[in-house]
Chains A and B, each alone.
Chain A
Amino acid sequence: NAGVTQTPKFQVLKTGQSMTLQCAQDMNHEYMSWYRQDPGMGLRLIHYSVGAGITDQGEVPNGYNVSRSTTEDFPLRLLSAAPSQTSVYFCASSQGAKLFFGSGTQLSVL
């Protein structure tokens, strides 16, 4: 079982560049979400989706866009990367309150 798959694993960007972090799940979960993890701050919710075609903002949405065209995929887009977006990003899907996380994308913005 693949579970939640994130790509890429590592990425380095220059300030102002754009990129998309990919997330796919094969568990047919309706709910998917994106978190960022920074030292001493735990995980903070960026955006989430309760089903295909429905997305909403989390705690720290600025600078990020999402879309949900299928149940399986939930990409996160950085339109103009900033050094403050240097972080580890986790995608998760859930069945009820149990979250299943991907292995993360470590992003550095120079």
Chain B
Amino acid sequence: TQLLEQSPQFLSIQEGENLTVYCNSSSVFSSLQWYRQEPGEGPVLLVTVVTGGEVKKLKRLTFQFGDARKDSSLHITAAQPGDTGLYLCAGVSQGGATNKLIFGTGTLLAVQP
């Protein structure tokens, strides 16, 4: 069974701080996605990374796919209370169907004003 481990599991920071969330696996993925989930709602796709070493930016969020396509990171600059939520990484295994995702364990972020 392929696993995607996220760290940290919980993170509580003050507004304006920077943070990094990690998503690690021993398996290679053909692509990796990041979702954000707010209380009482389903996850919403933030970004998809496909190429090893790829970096994508979404405003204050920077996503990186590891060179070996086994890991990824999400960096948030100057966090705001609106960034609060559960962040999930999800990978598509090599040779697998593009819509059969393996989800990570999640990182719960709380940004205090």
Report the count of interface residues on B (CB-CB < 8 A).
Answer: 25
CB distance from A40 to the nearest CB of B (A): 6
Taking residues whose C-beta sits less than 8 angstroms from the other chain, chain A's interface range is 20 to 34
Contact of A97 among B4, B43, B99, B106 (CB under 8 A): B99
Q: Assess whether B88 is in contact with A43, with CB atoms less than 8 Å apart.
A: yes
Q: Does A71 contact B (CB under 8 A)?
A: no
A102 touching B42, Cβ below 8 Å? yes
| B6 partner residues in chain A, CB cutoff 8 A | 42
A96 and B103: CB pair below 8 A? no
Picked from A31, A40, A42, A104, the residue with its CB within 8 Å of the CB of B99 is: A31
Are B42 and A4 neighbours in the complex by a CB distance under 8 Å? yes
Report Cα–Cα, A48/B99, bound state, in Å: 10
Can you show 25 pairs from A to B with CB atoms below 8 A apart?
A4-B42, A31-B99, A35-B103, A41-B105, A42-B4, A42-B103, A42-B106, A43-B90, A43-B103, A44-B103, A45-B100, A45-B101, A48-B99, A90-B42, A90-B43, A96-B98, A97-B31, A97-B101, A98-B45, A98-B48, A99-B43, A99-B45, A103-B42, A104-B40, A104-B41
